[in-house]
Amino acid sequence: MDIILFLQTQPIAFIAVALVLGLLIGSFLNVVIWRLPAMMEAEWRQQCHELLEDEAPETNDSDAKPFNLNTPRSHCPKCGHMIKAIENIPVISYLVLKGKCSGCGTSISPRYPLIELLSGILTAIVAWHFGFSWQAGAAMLLTWALIALSFIDIDKQLLPDSITQPLVWAGLLLAFVPVFVDLPTSVVGATAGYLSLWIIFHAFRLLTGKEGMGYGDFKLLAVLGAWMGWQMLPVIVLLSSVVGAAIGIAMIVLRGRDRNIPIPFGPYLAAAGWLAMIWGHDITNAYLRYSGL
């Protein structure tokens, strides 16, 4: 109780704790971003074998190694060096090791500490914005999930149901309290979020014969609608579309990217949703004020 009272009355301390917590969670998010798609692909392969009544490659059960978010321990993919706890301190270990494996000297991608930093900074911003409250705790969970979804979508163009579907239910359950919005607003938000992109998807397919986005995008916008209500959906869609279009055009012009190669929309939705959670009302009020509405 003393610790809780201390964090309630000392905002700077709460923000500092949130920063450290975010860095630690960021280290775990790196595992989720890499392993969850691999786990899903392995499950899909097994389902394909069963559907086609094909024989899966013979394996000795005693030799089969479990692969999940906990097992095996993190290790260097080149030399197999098991990463020790002292080598797994977020950001610090990367700097101490100078971005190289202590076993073989292979370079470690800077993306790992950058994701840890991103998680830490965004978690600290949430703590600063909401203070020590249930809103802060819920917003931190959503922030971490959005980071994982964004990078999985960048890597695999995939938004896993195992993350998006529980988030929809979590948003609806939080609305019972309510934490962010009331239950009717949350239900309408989830429904409108899903159906709006679903309608756009099918209209685009009828007009062009192509699929403009994936079903995971529908579910992600349903998540954001469930958490923040239907009123935030226009802000989220507008922000994500503007940023997505700007980056897409820049990639085509500057890097010569083939315009037929799909660009994942999930990271833009996630970023817009997070901004709407923190500053959505300010953005809406500023727009209404400057537009004279």
The model's pLDDT over 103-136, given as tens digits with 9 standing for 90+, comes to 787 888 899 999 999 999 999 999 999 999 999 9
- Each residue of 3-22: pLDDT tens digit? 888 888 889 999 999 999 99
Q: Which of 72-76, 79-83, 194-198, 254-258 has the highest mean pLDDT?
A: 194-198
Phi and psi, residue 160, nearest 5°: -60, 135
Supply the mean pLDDT for the chain. 86
Does residue 62 surpass a pLDDT of 50?
no
pLDDT, residue 274, reads 95
Give counts: helices (H), strands (E), the chain: 10, 0
Taking the model in full, what pTM does it have? 0.90
Name the band, by pLDDT with cuts 50, 70 and 90, for residue 211: confident
Q: Which pLDDT belongs to residue 289? A: 79
Exposed/middle/buried for 19, CB within 10 Å: 0-12, 13-18, 19+?
buried
- The whole-angstrom separation of Cα 11 and Cα 17 is 10
Size of the chain, expressed as the number of residues it contains: 293
| Region for 76 from its dihedrals, namely left if φ exceeds 0, alpha if ψ lies in -120 to 50, beta otherwise | beta
